[in-house]
């Protein structure tokens, strides 16, 4: 993991990797949280959809670069 002691601009490719990792994590964890009553199904779907839209924005930006 890169040093986070100082705020700096991260490479776009690294941001895309992190967003993909987060989407996979949420896809794995959120169903368990929904079953446990910790998160509503609608909230889980919204949050995953939001991350997918963020990924699409980053991918579009990468295509233009």
- CB neighbours of residue 20 within 10 Å: 15
> Could you tell me the two tokens for 18?
């992190």
What pLDDT, on a 0 to 100 scale, did the predictor assign at position 5?
64
Does the CA dihedral 19-25-31-36 come out positive or negative? negative
Structural domain count of the chain: 1
Residues in the chain: 65
Cβ atoms of 44 and 28 closer than 8 Å? no
Residue 54 lies in a domain: yes
Residue 11 CB burial class (10 angstroms; 0-12, 13-18, ≥19)? exposed
* Domain ranges, residue 45: 40-65
User: pTM here?
Assistant: 0.84
> pLDDT, tens digit, for every residue of 9-52?
999 999 999 999 999 999 999 999 999 999 999 999 999 999 99
């Amino acid at each position: 993991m890169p040093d986070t002691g100082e705020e700096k601009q991260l490479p776009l490719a690294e941001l895309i990797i992190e967003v993909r990792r987060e989407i996979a994590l949420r896809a794995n964890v959120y169903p368990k949280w929904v079953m446990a009553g910790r998160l509503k199904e609608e909230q889980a779907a919204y949050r995953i959809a939001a991350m997918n839209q963020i990924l699409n924005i980053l991918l579009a930006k990468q295509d233009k670069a």
